[in-house]
Amino acid sequence: VVARLARTLGIAISLSRILKSAMNRRWSLAMLLVLTTLPSLLLAAADVDAAARPAAIEWLKKVDTSNYSGSWDSAASMFKSAVSVQAWEKAAQSVRAPLGTLRSRAEKSATASSTLPGAPDGKYVVLQYDTVFENKAAAVETLTLTQDRDGHWRVAGYFIK
């Protein structure tokens, strides 16, 4: 249709040139979208304090080895004020034991924030991990970390889905 219209109008345009041009425009548009969104994705990851991830991993190691009282000891003050060590040990045991041993864990997302629902304003990092356990092939662990009074990042919340 385009080639016939071009001949009718006396314009020598080849169909392959039009298609090639259209593909170049699509490719250019796709690259433009990637290049405009990539910096914001990289900045979001860069906004996460470098000390938050190691704090999360160290805390998870305690939970992974059933050292629930140790994980409570190293948790954020807001975590400790919300749940006693005995209540945490009981809750963590009831949730983690049926899952079995950890097989793998890979970071899924990391988000920095200064506000969270139901929490006072502060410095927060929400980390999500795709996790595989012995008895659960696909789980998502969500950790909320906060920069505690002493300036160290500590886990303030933990959720498994």
The residue among 20 and 159 whose pLDDT is bigger is: 159
Q: Are 100 and 136 in contact (CB under 8 A)?
A: yes
d(CA 20, CA 79): 59
47-62 pLDDT tens trace: 688 889 999 999 999 9
Q: Where are the beta strands (DSSP E) in the chain?
A: 102-113, 124-133, 136-147, 153-160
Q: Are 128 and 148 in contact (CB under 8 A)?
A: no
Q: Looking at the chain, list the stretches that DSSP marks H as alpha helix, in order from N- to C-terminal side.
A: 2-8, 15-46, 52-64, 68-73, 77-82, 85-96
**pTM for the whole structure:** 0.70
Amino acid at 66: S
